[in-house]
Amino acid sequence: MKRIILSAALAAVCSLTWGQEREELLPFGNMDQWVKREIKESAIIGGAQKDIYAVGPTQTIKGEIPYKPVGGSPWATSNVMAKVVGIVKTNSSVFPEARNGGYCARLDTHMESVKVFGLVDITVLAAGSLFLGEVHEPIKSTKNPNGLLLMGVPFTKRPAALRFDYKVRIADRPQRIRATGFSRIADVDGKDHAAVVCLLQKRWEDEDGNVYAKRVGTFAIQYTQSCDWQNAATYKILYGDITGRPEYRADWMALNAYEYNTVNSRGESVHIKETGWAAPDEAPTHLILQFASSHGGAYIGTPGNSLWVDNVKLVY
């Protein structure tokens, strides 16, 4: 009888152990440390001192220095320094905001303009974006914006879920705006949403420098309504071919639904072409994770949209 009781107890303990989940905070995923960049814009557009921020070990970087993630931080943002026809201009759409004795990240959608008579007259819509990867600085043109965003970091694990705290504010406008800087500002059908995308990919490069990938794991969501803080929101990552699953949304989750780029072995920015779905037990080589205050792609959104993000974790 004692042996039976002991065996049952051990089985119960093992069951509890196997059933327990393990959280893993992404590096700097608590959003409590920020790099401040102090950049003086060109005198011809006012010469203002601008502070823009990046998620990383607390420090200050002064001057027109192209930014790469520092101190082991995997994070990049849509906060950038541009240098167009010699004019230095900044864009800031991701900010640290105080929360619970630390900070969270606030992502805003807004209009950004630079006007110099006879030289440049640009107004663009800038959405707040926080993602794993890098940005090629300085920005020299509004053409091919996705080619400047290098999406994803090396990653070989298979998490069960993504977990984070979030808050959303959706602007009360039935249509979105498209403002690229050179064409006229126009309305785009459909209300703006905030979005989160998490993709696991198995990538490879051919002899010509093209980069391909199979989709290993998928999660994507769009927030259509404003809401206050939702803590420890947990979203399952779906593995393998998910096109037959009830959770599948083609507009959010299809192969090549997003225009993501990376740097190949030659140092060139190239588009990542997804060629198919990986086997359900396949191991990834890269993780893409992006939070955005607008969902429509480059230069499309609604000013006033905001997404707050904190405590970003992977669950195993």
At 127-147, the pLDDT tens digits run: 999 999 999 887 776 666 666
Q: Can you tell me the mean pLDDT for 239-254? A: 97
pLDDT classification of 15: cutoffs 50, 70, 90:
very low
Q: Can you tell me the mean pLDDT for 7-21? A: 45
Q: Can you tell me the mean pLDDT for 75-80? A: 94
DSSP 239-277: ES--TTSTT--HHHHSTT-S--EEE-TTS-EEEEEEEEE
Name the CATH code of domain 20-315 (choices 1.10.490, 3.30.310, 3.30.160, 2.60.120). 2.60.120
Our CA dihedral for 193, 106, 33, 135, rounded to 10 degrees, sits at 60
Q: Can you tell me the mean pLDDT for 158-163? A: 98
pLDDT classification of 116: cutoffs 50, 70, 90:
low
What pLDDT, on the 0 to 100 scale, is given for residue 9?
A: 39
Q: Which residues of 247-272 are buried (b: 16+ CB within 10 A; e: fewer)?
A: eeeeebbbbebbebbbebeeeeebeb
At 207-218, the pLDDT tens digits run: 999 999 999 999
The pLDDT of residue 10 is above 70: no
Q: Encoding tokens for residue 65?
A: 């220095």
- Measured CA to CA in angstroms, residue 145 lies from 118, 137, 150 at distances of 24, 11, 10
What pLDDT, on the 0 to 100 scale, is given for residue 89?
A: 87
The pLDDT of residue 273 is above 80: yes
308, 105 Cβ separation under 8 angstroms: yes
Q: What integer best gives the mean pLDDT of the chain?
A: 90
Q: Encoding tokens for residue 50?
A: 């601008």
Phi/psi at 308 (5° precision): -105, 140
What pLDDT, on the 0 to 100 scale, is given for residue 272?
A: 97
Q: Can you tell me the mean pLDDT for 273-299? A: 96
In single-letter form, the type of residue at position 113 comes to: S
Q: Which residues pair with 34 in a beta bridge?
A: 55
At 166-204, the pLDDT tens digits run: 999 999 999 999 998 777 899 999 999 999 999 999 999
pLDDT classification of 11: cutoffs 50, 70, 90:
very low
Q: Which residues pair with 113 in a beta bridge?
A: 123
From the DSSP assignment, how many helices (H) and strands (E) are in the chain?
Answer: 2, 26
The pLDDT of residue 7 is above 60: no
Higher local confidence (pLDDT), 108 or 121 = 108
Peptide bond into 138 cis (omega under 30): yes
What pLDDT, on the 0 to 100 scale, is given for residue 6?
A: 36
For CA atoms 58, 63, 69, 70, the dihedral sign is negative
Chain center to CA of 63: 25
